[in-house]
Amino acid sequence: MLTVLTPGPLATIQDRGRPGWAAIGVPRSGAADRSAADLANRLVGNDPAAATVEVTAGGLRLRAERTVLVAVTGAPAPLDVDGRPAPPNAPVTLRAGSVLRLGLPPVGLRSYLAVRGGVDAVPVLGSRSTDTLSGLGPGRLAEGDRLPVGTLAADEPIVDVAPVRAPSSRPVLRVLPGPRRDWLVAAAWEALVAAEWTVTADSDRVGLRLAGPRLERARDGELPSEGLVPGALQVPPDGAPVLFLADHPVTGGYPVLAVVASADLGAAAQLRPGDRLRFRR
Amino acid sequence: MVRRRRGFRRSRRCAVADHGGMERDASAEVRRAVLPYGDRGLLVEVADLAAVAGIRAALERAPLPGQLDLVPAARTLLVVLDRAPAESDLARLKRLEPAAPTTDADVRTVELAVVFDGPDLSEVAALTRRSVPALVEALTTAELTVAFGGFAPGFGYLAGLPDDLHTPRRTTPRTRVPAGAVGLAGPFAGVYPRSSPGGWQLVGRTDAVLFDAEREPPALLTPGTRVRFREVR
């Protein structure tokens, strides 16, 4: 059992989400930076399906009610246990009564806390993920919440520390063609990969709203709504693209010009308002 | 629906049809295009709702390797994979025989008890050149079918309204539409599963529980379900 002392700006429970329900309007959701969440689980020897805590912009403080093994990955929030610094990307033992604290990461946005056995919230449609768009799954963490520890642990962890690169605030993300390139002028694709884009404040787990050159439509009219994927770069009529993340809606009604490569989605999920990014083919 | 194939070679990246280019599918005599959608999906574009349902039924019965989800919409079916699409997927999606969505025996019919007192009822009646009782009569005799979901968990786009009942969305969406509100927009009818913002023309309300994650199935209106509105006062 872990007790939340302070949740920080936003902390949610996340696993791999609930794929398979799109036909009834249920988004996939799940950890925004999947590779960071997977690594946290690996470091404590968890099943990959175990739920972690996704901590947005640090600020989480929690107390272990019994001895547990934890690991924190993703955005490099400074960690301390009872005031003593602890290593990121490594298994850390918390004794009963110990308090773990995550500070504000100097770069990146989302850190992942795994506990050996997984966070045992009540699954909804097979997932413990908090979907901030549809409201499915457990609520966002609040002061005083008690998080039971589950039994989704596999082997004893064998990794002491994982060498990982910190997220970048100036990443270059690879894009692949989307289904509706022909709804935008040919120059739009060129502008997408040539320009530098800025993440605006109006960004969250649903998506990043990007500021840059206006991407012009090649045709008027309405596109019938169609399915979306994480990484889809959708261009609304105002010409400012939206890069969808984990809590994207199931369908959208504006053309998708390009899609960020799945390997680069984690880097996208680590961007915060004011960060700048580029796209490459 | 989740099926995984281990050891798939990711290097076999597909070369996809030109975006927007329609491929003639000789076997099924339907227009069908398979459009690129990043490295985890393919978008199948077809002529209409019936074709979407046919392709979806075929892929539910015999999924592609690593098929994670299917997202049906008005003219497209998004196939979400847990791996990069390959040439063989493209070929299969182009050739796929549509399946009958369901046999008559397992089509569910849901009757929704509706109080027709929505704030846009008289406006919709005027727009469709009917009296309010004639509009209600038209809505309660329409044989509707859930085409697809997408707006919120449990929301079903109901197809089958007569052409002269197609109405535009409200020019200014409401910031709050109550749960159970019955609305019309374009060719579709729909019921809001929970309170949310919305731009549909509201003609009535129902007490039916559209979505309950603890129920099996969670959504009352799943694609293919037949729906009728019954007037209650």
CATH number at residue A234: 2.40.100.10
pLDDT over 90 for what percent of chain A?
A: 90
Q: Which of A29-38, A170-179, A204-213, B146-155 has the lowest mean pLDDT?
A: B146-155
Q: What is the pTM assigned to this prediction?
A: 0.89
pLDDT over 70 for what percent of chain B?
A: 85
Q: Quote the number of domains for chain A.
A: 2
Query: So what's the ipTM on this one?
Result: 0.94
Tell me the per-residue pLDDT of A93-106, one tens digit each, with 9 for 90 and over: 999 999 999 999 99
Residue of A nearest to B83 (CA): A262
Residue A253: predicted pLDDT: 87
Q: What is the mean pLDDT of chain A?
A: 95
Residue B102: predicted pLDDT: 64
Task: Number of helices (H) and strands (E) in chain A: give both, helices first.
Answer: 3, 20
Chain B nearest C-alpha distance from A26 (Å): 5
CB contact under 8 A, A24 and B154: yes
Tell me the per-residue pLDDT of A180-226, one tens digit each, with 9 for 90 and over: 999 999 999 999 999 999 999 999 999 999 999 999 999 888 888 99
Residue B30: predicted pLDDT: 55
Query: Does residue A182 share a domain with residue A133?
Result: no
Interstrand relation of A256-260 and A172-177 (parallel, antiparallel or unpaired): antiparallel
- Greater confidence (B105 vs A154) lies with A154
**Confidence grade of residue B19 (pLDDT, cut at 50, 70, 90):** very low
Sign of the four-CA dihedral B16, B21, B22, B24: negative
Query: Does residue A19 share a domain with residue A136?
Result: yes
- Greater confidence (B126 vs B10) lies with B126
Residue of A nearest to B73 (CA): A226
A125 interaction partners in chain B (CB closer than 8 Å):
213, 218
Q: How many CB atoms lie within 10 A of CB B181?
A: 24
Chain A nearest C-alpha distance from B71 (Å): 5
Query: Does residue A128 share a domain with residue A241?
Result: no
Separation between Cα atoms, residue A19 and residue A17, nearest integer Å: 6
Strand ranges (DSSP E) for chain A?
Answer: 2-6, 10-14, 52-56, 61-64, 68-74, 79-81, 84-86, 92-94, 99-102, 110-115, 146-147, 172-177, 197-199, 207-211, 226-227, 232-234, 242-244, 251-252, 256-260, 276-280
> Is A154 among the domain residues?
no
How big is the CA angle at A199 (ends A105 and A134), to the nearest 5 degrees?
85
CATH number at residue A40: 2.60.120
Query: Does residue A133 share a domain with residue A63?
Result: yes
> Is A33 among the domain residues?
yes
Q: Which DSSP category does A215 fall into?
A: P
Q: Is the pLDDT of residue B5 over 80?
A: no
Chain A nearest C-alpha distance from B211 (Å): 9
Query: Does residue A207 share a domain with residue A124?
Result: no
**Confidence grade of residue B215 (pLDDT, cut at 50, 70, 90):** very high
> Is A78 among the domain residues?
yes
Query: Does residue A179 share a domain with residue A64?
Result: no
| Count of pairs with CB atoms under 8 A, one residue in A, one in B | 140
Strand ranges (DSSP E) for A108-166?
Answer: 110-115, 146-147
Please name which of B49, B37, B50 lies closest in space to residue B89, comparing C-alpha atoms: B37
CB contact under 8 A, A23 and B71: yes
Residue of A nearest to B48 (CA): A224
Query: Does residue A21 share a domain with residue A123?
Result: yes
Q: Domain range for residue A213?
A: 172-280
CB contact under 8 A, B19 and A177: yes
Chain B nearest C-alpha distance from A170 (Å): 22
A226 interaction partners in chain B (CB closer than 8 Å):
43, 71, 73-76, 78
Tell me the per-residue pLDDT of A69-82, one tens digit each, with 9 for 90 and over: 999 999 999 999 99
CB contact under 8 A, B43 and A125: no
Residue of B nearest to A124 (CA): B213
B69 interaction partners in chain A (CB closer than 8 Å):
19-22, 28
Q: Which of B39, B166, B169, B194 to mutate against chain A (most A CBs within 10 Å)? A: B39
Q: Is the pLDDT of residue A240 over 90?
A: yes
A20 interaction partners in chain B (CB closer than 8 Å):
1-2, 68-69
Query: Does residue A141 share a domain with residue A253?
Result: no
Note whether A99 and A69 are within 8 A (CB): no
Query: Does residue A182 share a domain with residue A66?
Result: no
**Confidence grade of residue B103 (pLDDT, cut at 50, 70, 90):** low
> Is A224 among the domain residues?
yes
Note whether B110 and B227 are within 8 A (CB): yes
Q: Is the pLDDT of residue B22 over 80?
A: no
